[in-house]
Amino acid sequence: MAVNRCLCHGVPFAAALATARAHGCATVAALQNFCALGTGCGLCVPYMQRALATGETDLPVLGSREMDLWTAMSGVVAEGRR
Ligand code: FES
């Protein structure tokens, strides 16, 4: 099963990646100036950060270490970590 969208806001990673490229966004935090992806539960944030880094938009389910790595690179501060 591939993870390919923000479920909270129904934003496909492919569409978000196109938005990011159009606006020069390298992080999810920057992308959030242009779309709502990642502003709900936040589960999609590490997936989208990986999509920004690799261009992949159909992603495997990530393990906890990879989730932490990509989240740290996203520029998004998770609730409860502030
Ligand atoms: S799945 Fe993207 S904010 Fe919840």
Measured from the CB, is residue 8 less than 6 Å from ligand 1? Answer: yes
How far is residue 14 CA from its own chain's centroid?
A: 11
What is the per-residue pLDDT across 40-54, written as a single tens digit (0 to 9) for each?
999 999 999 999 999
Q: Is the CB of 42 under 6 A from ligand 1?
A: yes
Full-model pTM: 0.93
Question: Ligand 1: does its nearest atom lie under 6 Å from the Cβ of 12?
Answer: no
Residue 76 in contact with residue 39, Cβ under 8 Å? no
What is the overall mean pLDDT for the chain?
94
Nearest C-alpha neighbor of 74 from the set 4, 16, 22, 9: 16
pLDDT band at 8 (very low <50, low <70, confident <90, very high): very high
Closest ligand 1 atom, CA of 40? 3
